[in-house]
């Protein structure tokens, strides 16, 4: 019997073979896709970069409206939300950053209309009304500011057109009981100014079932004899989101263009940190094995079934904690995210040179209060408040000289400040005799950072079919941080940094990131390229919510991450523009890879540098416009991402010496990186056909997505490994051929294949046990959606 990877490869090859055979239908061409991977507008097929790009119709096909759903479009991309630390797990080819510690930044950058974003909390925003998405794979240091050794996800929102347009979209998704609506108003204000207003609303009950029930206080909690109220709702994961974006597009002169975009987002969530107990030492989840008599959850199980026991904390405790917001919520877990993202893009075309400016501002205010043990008997709770603002400015110049040499150069500056407050409870100590607070500690941290860089590239057209480019970016990073506890419970064991003391740390580094590419175009429809690339992500300062006595001003600082390697690729167009086949092979080595560790006993995080890692693999992508009505596609990738030298990895809970844990560390050299499946791919089709010619048409789309197994825990605990899985997306709709309305049924993950994101040792689990928690990702979605255009 053929393996799953072999069957998928056969399907992708079959798409190409179908095109090569050609059905004799001589109409229908693939749309040209314009990308800005090299900070200039170019056809996708002429850019010597491993890039997948998708236009608005492809994004809307299966209703992708956030980054985790956008990830399904491309191969070797994994994006999922995290309630702690960085805020999201974003990976390309298995490369990304661990999410646990707030002090780390993403190795995969999100670029929203030219504004560079390296905090995962951006995933909480709805990205809708997009013109295109570009996913650049491999290091992208030259053109994308800073912190992009893993790649770039570039989002380009729609701009006002030359004619007035308006639309209203509404839908209902039954699995999470989600209502959604979108409104678009766009058009010219006068002959040089246009405006576009886009608004999105969603309200869902959540896709988890919550079975926590009221329980009396266990006898072992003698200092806190309060009954537990059980669940706040029968569902968990509920949220309400408002997103509003205003775009102003001004062209007062033929050679000058200015685009201002401002996006505001408000999210109210019942809890950002929703984890399932997927492996237990005993038959039922334990609340906290570190107290005298461990308490077990009577309603819970230890399976990946999207059923959890997520109880609220007794109001007597909630009303007496360091941060008073918890009391106003009556002890129920909650999450809050507010943000403003603004960007101003200026382009001025002078004779033989184009000047560009991108000014960016991103502010967010994030808060969560969560039940970290995920049981009715809330004993391990955390409060995190994070406020960050980032200002960035980029200036570029690109020459268009008539000779064989041209040049691009520019500078980039970024200023950031992040304040983070936190409090937690891991021991049932009762009320503090001095303050009356029930939490064990409360802390504050501030990190301020500035970064600036200068970059330049020489573009040499050796002859009409041969181009050589070479460039380098110089980066200077400076960071200063201070952190400490503003409260430590009087009865707390001596594991915390003393109240009132401050750890003051600093980090600085400089880097040169060179890059070179050779591009050969033997025909207008064929391009072959080879690229040498390097990448860099600055180090920084760990700001764990729990500061233990082991933390010092020196050991909370971690080093920069660097990448070096290259790729060879081919891009080709066939059959009069109806078929594209693109492929590449690559290898990149990473030095001082930044990873994070979690201590389940103290719930403390830390960041360290794994010595070395490597990714190598190959990808192929094919698209075929069979005729004007039928479009098929397929993509396949093989990626081997491994640690090439990492003999100081922390052990997982319960790992024995026979399993490789010696003196508290294990050797992961030769083992797989996290979230690095060997084989991934997809095949699909989109078919349009008339029901009543000229009056009523229909479309049918389907996609089959495959992922090989992958490690989902930083310690590579085999109990947390995600097995291989398939997902099926489906769309069936009817529409007016004049584009005035459409009605569609859309299903993502139709057969509800359950898979999870990040995993960690369960806080409060048995020290030598097998207690594991994982983020179980959203499963099947069944969406009925209608659109009216005016």
pLDDT per position as a tens digit, 684-705: 999 999 999 889 999 999 999 9
For residue 371, what are its two tokens?
């039940």
Confidence category of residue 24, pLDDT binned at 50, 70, 90:
very low
**Of 1-10, 231-240, 591-600, where does the model show the most confidence?**
231-240
In this predicted structure, what is the pLDDT of residue 507? 96
- pLDDT tens digits, 167-191: 999 999 999 999 999 999 999 999 9
Least confident stretch, 79-93, 253-267, 611-625: 79-93
Predicted local distance difference test score (pLDDT) of residue 17: 46
At 259 the pLDDT is: 98
Phi/psi of residue 720, nearest 5 degrees: -100, 0
Q: Cα–Cα distance between 493 and 516 in angstroms, integer?
A: 56
In this structure, the number of other CB atoms found within 10 A of the CB of residue 51 comes to: 26
Mean pLDDT of 191-205: 96
Give residue 20's pLDDT.
44
Residue-wise DSSP of 166-204: EEEEEEEETTTTEEEEEEEEEEESSSSEEEEEEEEEEEE
Residue 644 pLDDT class (50, 70, 90 cuts): very high
Average pLDDT of span 430-457: 95
What pLDDT sits at residue 4? 53
| Mean pLDDT confidence for 436-446 | 94
Confidence of residue 23 (pLDDT cuts 50, 70, 90): very low
Q: How confident is the model at residue 6 (pLDDT cuts 50, 70, 90)?
A: low
Question: What pLDDT was estimated at residue 21?
Answer: 45
Q: What is the pLDDT of residue 16?
A: 47
The Cα–Cα gap between 680 and 8 comes to 9
In this predicted model, what pLDDT tens digit does every residue of 332-386 receive, in sequence order? 888 999 999 999 999 999 999 999 999 999 999 999 888 888 899 999 888 889 9
Give the pLDDT mean for 704-708: 96
Cα separation values, 537 from 37, 87, 91, 512, 647, Å: 19, 18, 15, 11, 22
As a whole number of angstroms, the distance between CA 532 and CA 586 comes to 10
For residue 2, the model assigns a pLDDT of 46
pLDDT of 19 higher than 50 = no
Q: What is the pLDDT of residues 469-491, one digit of tens each?
A: 999 999 999 999 999 999 999 99
Most distant CA atoms of the chain, gap in Å: 85
| Average of per-residue pLDDT across 712-725 | 92
Q: Helix or strand or coil: residue 17? A: helix
pLDDT average, residue stretch 51-74? 89
Q: What is the pTM of this model?
A: 0.92
Yes or no: say if 527 and 48 are a contact pair by the CB < 8 Å rule.
yes
Please report the DSSP string for 701-714 in residue order.
Answer: EEEEEEE--BB-BT
The angle subtended at Cα 340 by Cα 335 and Cα 341, nearest 5°, is 120
Q: Which of 547, 583, 548 has the alpha carbon at shortest distance from 568? A: 583
Looking only at the bridges linking them, the beta strands covering 151-157 and 193-204 are unpaired
Of residues 358 and 95, more confidently modeled: 358
Q: Which of 491, 504, 496, 394 is nearest to 451 (CA)?
A: 394
Which range, of 66-70, 582-586, 712-716, averages the lowest pLDDT?
66-70
- pLDDT one-digit tens code per residue, 252-291: 999 999 999 999 999 999 888 788 888 999 989 999 888 8
- pLDDT number for residue 3: 55
Whole-number average pLDDT of the chain:
90
* Contact partners, residue 83, CB within 8 Å, separation at least 6: 271, 272, 273, 274, 335, 368, 370
In Å, what is the CA distance from 477 to each residue of 101, 121, 377, 446, 512?
Answer: 20, 22, 45, 17, 12
Task: Give bridge partners of residue 719 from the DSSP assignment.
Answer: none
Region 299-324 average pLDDT: 86
Distance CA 179, CA 209 (A): 18
3-class state of residue 20 by DSSP = helix
Residues recorded for the chain: 790
> Is the predicted pLDDT of residue 328 greater than 70, yes or no?
no
Model pLDDT, residue 407: 97
């Amino acid at each position: 019997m053929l393996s799953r990877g072999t069957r998928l490869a056969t399907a992708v090859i079959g798409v190409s073979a179908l095109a090569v055979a050609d059905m004799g239908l001589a109409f229908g061409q693939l749309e040209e896709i314009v990308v800005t991977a090299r900070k200039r507008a170019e056809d996708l097929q002429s850019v010597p970069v491993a890039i997948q790009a998708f236009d608005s119709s492809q994004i809307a096909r299966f209703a992708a409206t956030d980054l985790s759903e956008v990830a399904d479009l491309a191969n070797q991309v994994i994006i999922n939300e995290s309630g702690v630390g960085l805020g999201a797990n974003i990976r390309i080819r298995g490369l990304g950053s661990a999410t646990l510690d707030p002090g780390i930044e993403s190795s995969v950058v999100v670029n929203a209309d030219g504004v560079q974003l390296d905090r995962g909390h951006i995933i909480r925003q709805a990205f809708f009304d997009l013109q295109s998405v570009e996913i650049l794979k491999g290091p992208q240091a030259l053109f994308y500011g800073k912190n992009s050794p893993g790649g770039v996800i570039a989002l380009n929102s729609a701009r006002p057109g030359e004619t007035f347009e308006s639309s209203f979209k509404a839908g209902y998704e039954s699995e999470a009981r989600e209502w959604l609506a979108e409104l678009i108003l766009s058009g010219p204000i006068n002959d040089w100014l246009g405006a576009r207003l886009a608004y999105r609303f969603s309200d869902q009950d959540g896709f988890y079932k919550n079975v926590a029930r009221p329980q009396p206080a266990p006898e072992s909690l003698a200092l806190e004899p309060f009954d537990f109220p059980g669940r706040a709702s029968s569902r968990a994961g509920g949220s309400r989101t408002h997103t509003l974006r205003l775009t102003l597009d001004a062209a007062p002169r033929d050679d000058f263009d200015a685009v201002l975009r401002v996006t505001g987002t408000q999210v109210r969530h019942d809890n950002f940190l929703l984890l399932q107990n997927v492996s237990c030492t005993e038959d039922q989840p334990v609340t906290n094995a570190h107290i005298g008599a461990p308490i077990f959850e009577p309603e819970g199980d230890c399976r990946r079934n999207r059923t959890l026991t997520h109880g609220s904390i007794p109001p007597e405790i909630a009303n007496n904690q360091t941060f008073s917001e918890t009391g106003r919520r009556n002890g129920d877990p909650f999450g809050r995210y507010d943000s403003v993202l603004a960007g101003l893009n200026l382009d001025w075309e002078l004779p033989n040179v184009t000047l560009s400016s991108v000014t960016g501002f991103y502010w967010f205010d994030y808060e969560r209060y969560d039940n970290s043990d995920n049981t009715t008997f809330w004993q391990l709770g955390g409060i995190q408040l994070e406020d960050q603002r980032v200002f960035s400015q980029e200036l570029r110049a690109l020459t268009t000289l008539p000779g064989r040499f041209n040049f691009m150069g520019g500078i980039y500056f970024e200023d950031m400040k992040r304040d983070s407050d936190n409090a937690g409870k891991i021991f049932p100590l009762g009320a503090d005799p001095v303050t009356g607070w029930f939490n064990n500690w409360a802390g504050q941290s501030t990190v301020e950072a500035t970064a600036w860089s200068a970059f330049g590239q020489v573009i040499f057209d050796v002859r009409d079919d041969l181009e050589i480019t070479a460039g380098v970016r110089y980066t200077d990073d400076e960071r200063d941080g201070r952190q400490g506890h503003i409260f430590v419970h009087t009865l707390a064991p001596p594991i915390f940094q003393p109240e009132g003391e401050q750890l003051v740390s600093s980090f600085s580094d400089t880097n040169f990131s060179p890059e070179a590419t050779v591009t050969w175009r033997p025909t207008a429809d064929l391009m072959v390229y080879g690229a040498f690339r390097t990448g860099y992500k600055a180090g920084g300062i760990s700001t764990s919510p729990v500061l233990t006595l082991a933390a010092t001003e020196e050991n909370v600082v971690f080093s920069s991450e660097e990448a070096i390697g290259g790729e060879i690729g081919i891009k080709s167009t066939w059959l009069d523009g109806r078929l594209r086949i693109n492929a590449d092979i690559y290898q990149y080595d990473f030095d001082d890879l930044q990873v994070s560790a979690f201590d389940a006993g103290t719930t403390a995080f830390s960041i360290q540098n794994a010595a070395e890692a490597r990714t190598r693999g190959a990808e192929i992508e094919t698209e075929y416009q069979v005729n004007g009505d039928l479009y098929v596609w397929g993509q396949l990738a093989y990626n081997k991402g491994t640690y090439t030298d990492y003999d100081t990895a922390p052990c997982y809970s319960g790992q024995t010496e026979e399993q490789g844990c010696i003196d508290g560390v294990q050797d992961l050299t030769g083992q797989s990186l996290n979230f690095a499946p060997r084989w991934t791919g997809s095949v699909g089709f989109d078919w349009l056909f008339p029901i009543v010619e000229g009056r009523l048409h229909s479309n049918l789309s389907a996609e089959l997505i495959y992922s090989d197994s992958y490690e989902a825990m930083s310690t590579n605990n085999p109990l947390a490994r995600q097995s291989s899985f398939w997902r099926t997306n489906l769309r069936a709709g009817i529409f007016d051929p004049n584009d005035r309305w459409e009605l569609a049924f859309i299903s993502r993950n139709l057969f509800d294949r359950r898979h999870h994101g990040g995993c960690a040792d369960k806080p409060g689990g048995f020290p030598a046990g097998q207690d594991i928690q994982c983020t179980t990702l959203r499963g099947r979605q069944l969406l009925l959606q209608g659109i009216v255009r005016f």
